[in-house]
Amino acid sequence: MKRRVLASLVLGAVAALSLTGCLSSSDAPAGQETDVNAAWLDDGRIIALVTTGSSSCVPVADSAEINQDGALAVELSLPDADQPCTADLAPRATLVPVPEGVDPSQDLVIWATGEGYYGDVTLPGVSGLAGPGGSTDYEPTAGWTQQQGQFVILTWGSSSCVPVVETSEVTADAEVTVTFQEPPANQACTMDMAPRTNFGFADGLSGVADVQLVLSGDSFDQTIPIYGTSD
């Protein structure tokens, strides 16, 4: 019960973003344009907004709302201005709650703005997703981004023990297998229930619909769909 209460608090914090001051796509954005990708997760309740930068400094969403043009406008910031950031360039997934009224079966234009940068992406609709509202079932989910062969995996568990992808490979005509590293036997994990993200990659499945993702290793042994279609 303690883990579920903590999980509800985490999800509530994600959903309680400020809904003011967002960019309209008709505004002239300031700063440097950057590549942005996105993926549906958690049955259409969450979007993973993917940017590139330091892997140790993942942006957080300060606000997210549907603007006057019908686009999802998201304002990003670093989690802590004093936090040291590694000098690598890696894809990072910022989790954004899907506002009420968004239909995941329809294409969604997303505008992202941060300090000194901006970017936009069209997230293709996926039929059959529940969409915003309701509560998560804390099961793993995955969704394709617009980067060829890239998908985001969302799992739930200890925030201090994020799974580590060991391999990601195509194992059938419409199947990808991601194997996670086995954690150390003496690994100490906090007793919270938080959303964690990983990236998977699968070449050769462009345009293939209904791809299944096999998760194995660590504590995983299950098969789930990857929402959408790989570019």
Q: Do residues 16 and 109 both lie within one domain?
A: yes
pLDDT in tens, 75-109: 999 888 778 899 999 999 999 999 999 999 999 99
pLDDT in tens, 11-23: 444 444 433 344 4
Residue 27 confidence class, pLDDT cut points 50, 70, 90? low
Q: Do residues 152 and 92 both lie within one domain?
A: no
Of 88, 123, 158, which residue constitutes the final position of a domain? 123
Number of domains in the chain: 2
136 in a structural domain: no
Residue 219 makes CB contacts below 8 A (sequence gap 6+) with: 157
- According to the model, what pLDDT value does residue 9 have? 35
- Assess contact for 183 and 75: CB atoms under 8 A: no
pTM of the model: 0.88
pLDDT in tens, 119-146: 999 999 999 999 998 899 999 999 999 9
- According to the model, what pLDDT value does residue 76 have? 96
- Assess contact for 27 and 113: CB atoms under 8 A: no
Q: Do residues 197 and 88 both lie within one domain?
A: no
Of 123, 153, 184, which residue constitutes the final position of a domain? 123
Domain ranges, residue 61: 2-123
- According to the model, what pLDDT value does residue 29 have? 64
Burial of 88 (0-12, 13-18, 19+ CB in 10 A): exposed
Q: Do residues 97 and 164 both lie within one domain?
A: no
- According to the model, what pLDDT value does residue 79 have? 84
Q: Do residues 160 and 113 both lie within one domain?
A: no
Residue 192 and residue 160: Cα distance in Å, rounded? 9
Q: Do residues 96 and 201 both lie within one domain?
A: no
Residue 58 and residue 79: Cα distance in Å, rounded? 7
- Assess contact for 129 and 44: CB atoms under 8 A: yes
Q: Do residues 197 and 85 both lie within one domain?
A: no
Residue 84 and residue 69: Cα distance in Å, rounded? 37
- Which regions of the chain does DSSP assign to beta strands (E)? 32-33, 37-41, 46-53, 60-66, 72-77, 90-97, 108-114, 117-123, 141-144, 150-157, 165-172, 175-180, 194-201, 212-217, 220-227
Q: Do residues 92 and 205 both lie within one domain?
A: no
In the structure encoding, which two tokens stand for residue 88, read together? 């690598």
Q: Do residues 74 and 165 both lie within one domain?
A: no
Q: Do residues 146 and 119 both lie within one domain?
A: no
Q: Do residues 43 and 100 both lie within one domain?
A: yes
